[in-house]
Structure 1
């Protein structure tokens, strides 16, 4: 099995834990927690900034002693836009689940600090359609570069069954602005219906890295470098939550030269 693929785990608890140390990189951290109704979870951001994303479910959230109220609404990641919370470095947070909750904890180094805690409601989120034909997918920008943060970029994407995504193949592994930015990235995958599957390939031009992975509901893929397209099989819509971070907070990507012609279709 590919070292870039973290397979899904059933049950309740701390389901996924990716740190810069475990991933062998510098910036991105990703954790996934599943709570039953009535369970609680707490954490500290320490020297990182964090974006809590309600993938599913509802819970009462506090941050630095402030009651942020009951957040979350959707019971499926395929049903509308998410609720999220931005937390700067040095923050304490907790959640008490009112329903079953799947909570993503997205983290990256805090570079400047000083930003306030803020709730990001579905009404705050921009959406866009990318691609054409069977390359069409639907993007929800949770923490885009035009919203305040130090390092984090967070986005959700829905890819209909039979469609490709993160395609034409693109990469962002060079700190070479304005042409390209260096961003590490994680993909958290869900399928509807959940028995579905798809494929993701992570590869470099020289093929020194070339991993093709079957992805299933709940899998996480790490992208340290290279191109990283994915495809949803017919009949099964694909959701993924992307977390990106790097030395400069901007998304500038480079398309694979041999596939650039696809952008002209």
Structure 2
């Protein structure tokens, strides 16, 4: 696949920016039906109206905190300094719900991972204690996963969302896996990867830091992507085996995964590439990278 062909799956920082939105990726732009992601940046005390629609979504602080107002109620979200330093509280917003967000005194960058919904659920404030945290892999495949709407207590219609933190030099999303057919062990899920990078285990949003993302064909699906990604970039994955996500040595990698599909069980089921699944067995004899966890865990 040529560079021009793979470019349809890669969105560089700023390409879908407008107004207060650093990113506004809807299903039409992605060329699919279910998954969406917006990132909004607000100055201290600044407010923004987020209209209701057919998508459910999370108000998930990347940095800073905010107040979320909806239906006559207000929810204080403490947030965090950085995705590399902490997990965060957040708010689940059901479909057809208008909200107003107001940044706290230090400002806010808010991710709004979303999915087309087919059920009506209650709006819900979610404390940090409900984030499902864990370490996956071992050795150079070690990474940390923070689940916000995936296998924890948060009920959604179709939305799945988690964060992955990968120390510099490590591989994550590995072994490569897919979720592009509905079986007993797999679900069809459209997936968005949103990236942040920091330098040398300190600071945030390194302009020079980078990672490498790979996607390649699965049975019946022709896709071939191998690209450098930097802070604020997005890669969309409609199908195919995806992985690894490789953090360059010296640069820690964060990505937010947003997934959704037609199944109504809100379940993450995937299938490893059978050529590489044996790698999991090697983890039994390796220690988890001592640089993990990067953030406090539950």
TM over 0.5: yes
Q: Report the counterpart of residue 56 of structure 1 in structure 2.
A: 63
Q: Secondary structure at the residue paired with 2:81?
A: coil
Q: Report the counterpart of residue 247 of structure 1 in structure 2.
A: 262
The answer (yes or no) to whether the contact 1:12–1:35 under 8 Å persists in 2 is: no
2:117 to 94, 110, 113: 110
The answer (yes or no) to whether the contact 1:11–1:34 under 8 Å persists in 2 is: no
Q: Report the counterpart of residue 186 of structure 2 in structure 1.
A: 180
Q: Report the counterpart of residue 5 of structure 1 in structure 2.
A: 10
In the TM superposition, residue 145 of structure 1 has moved relative to its aligned partner by 3.9
Q: Report the counterpart of residue 47 of structure 1 in structure 2.
A: 54
Q: Report the counterpart of residue 125 of structure 1 in structure 2.
A: 131
CA RMSD of aligned residues (A): 1.6
The answer (yes or no) to whether the contact 2:62–2:79 under 8 Å persists in 1 is: no
Change (3 A) 1:205 1:88: closer
1:258 to 268, 275, 292: 275
CA distance in 2, matches of 1:73, 1:48: 23
Q: Secondary structure at the residue paired with 1:100?
A: strand
Q: Secondary structure at the residue paired with 1:157?
A: strand
Gaps of 5+ in 2: 200-205, 283-298
Are residues 1:161 and 2:168 paired? yes
CA distance in 2, matches of 1:205, 1:73: 38
The answer (yes or no) to whether the contact 2:50–2:101 under 8 Å persists in 1 is: no
Deviations 1:185-231 (A, max 9, x none): 10110011213101001111367210111000111111111112110
Q: Secondary structure at the residue paired with 2:155?
A: coil
In the TM superposition, residue 45 of structure 1 has moved relative to its aligned partner by 2.5
The answer (yes or no) to whether the contact 1:89–1:110 under 8 Å persists in 2 is: yes
| Deviation larger for 159-168 or 56-65 | 56-65
Pairs aligned (count) = 262
In the TM superposition, structure 1's runs of 4+ consecutive aligned residues that sit over 6 Å from their partners are none
1:1-265 equivalent positions in 2, closer than 5 A: 2-9=7-14, 13-69=20-76, 71-98=77-104, 99-113=106-120, 115-146=121-152, 147-176=154-183, 178-193=184-199, 194=206, 195-205=208-218, 208-229=222-243, 230-248=245-263, 249-265=266-282
CA distance in 1, matches of 2:47, 2:280: 46
The answer (yes or no) to whether the contact 1:49–1:109 under 8 Å persists in 2 is: yes
CA distance in 1, matches of 2:167, 2:146: 14
TM-score by length of 1: 0.94
Q: Report the counterpart of residue 293 of structure 2 in structure 1.
A: none
CA distance in 1, matches of 2:250, 2:102: 35
CA distance in 2, matches of 1:245, 1:228: 16
TM-score by length of 2: 0.84
